[in-house]
């Protein structure tokens, strides 16, 4: 059953993969997994931590909708999306996406679509704390120094 939600702790990967592997009885031949982690260096600067905040329950609702919509596509059998919140250090997992599909090509294509949607649709906010200050991460890798927003 497709699922998407905001979580405050690590996801049990073994359990998630066991649940998805059950779809082999329905013809699943491919499981694709993506795990996003906190980068330790951005723009040549050391990252101390990322703080993720989500506007709930809207963020979980959006993640669930993405999972359900993508799982309803032809040859896609299941989608799981879990986005962490809180203060995370470099190397810690932040985003988990798993897809079960009838073949590897479908699984990888679905995973790519889900990832792009997760980067843009749910109201999840990321503050990057680095050696040269704090930056809001907006859009595809764009950073805005905290306190230096646009004009009012």
If you ran DSSP here, which 8-state letter would residue 8 be given?
Answer: S
Of 38, 14, 35, the C-alpha closest to 126 is: 38
The tokens of 147 are what? 């306190």
Instruction: Round to whole Å and give the CA distance between 11 and 118.
Output: 17
Q: How confident is the model at residue 151 (pLDDT cuts 50, 70, 90)?
A: very low
81, containing H or E segment:
strand 76-84
Find the DSSP H helices in 72-141: 104-120
The answer to whether residue 149 scores a pLDDT higher than 70 is no
Structure tokens that stand for 13 in this block? 């990967």
CA distance 145 to 134: 6
Residue 6 has pLDDT above 70, yes or no: yes
Relative to beta strand 3-7, strand 76-84 is parallel
All domains of the chain in start order, with CATH? 3-37+56-122 (3.90.1170.40)
Q: Is the pLDDT of residue 150 over 60?
A: no
Q: Give pLDDT tens digits for 81-125.
A: 999 999 999 999 999 999 999 999 999 999 999 999 999 999 999
CA dist 17 and 4 (Å) reads 15
Per residue in 23-70, pLDDT tens?
A: 888 888 899 999 999 999 999 999 999 999 999 999 999 999 999 999
Q: Tokens for 81?
A: 């999306």
Distance of alpha carbon 97 from alpha carbon 109, whole angstroms: 12
Tell me, what's the pLDDT at 28?
85
């Amino acid at each position: 059953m497709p699922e998407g939600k905001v979580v405050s702790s690590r996801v049990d990967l073994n359990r998630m993969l066991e649940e998805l592997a059950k779809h082999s009885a329905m013809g699943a031949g491919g499981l694709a997994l993506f795990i996003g982690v906190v980068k330790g260096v951005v723009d040549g600067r050391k990252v101390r931590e990322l703080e993720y905040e989500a506007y709930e329950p809207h963020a979980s609702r959006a993640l669930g909708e993405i999972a359900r919509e993508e799982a309803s596509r032809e040859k896609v059998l299941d989608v799981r999306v879990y986005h962490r919140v809180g203060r995370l250090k470099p190397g810690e997992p932040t985003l988990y996406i798993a897809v079960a599909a009838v073949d590897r090509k479908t699984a990888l294509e679905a995973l790519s679509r889900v990832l792009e949607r997760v980067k843009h649709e749910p109201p999840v906010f990321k503050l990057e704390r680095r050696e040269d200050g704090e930056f809001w991460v907006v859009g595809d890798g764009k950073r805005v120094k905290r306190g230096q927003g646009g004009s009012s």
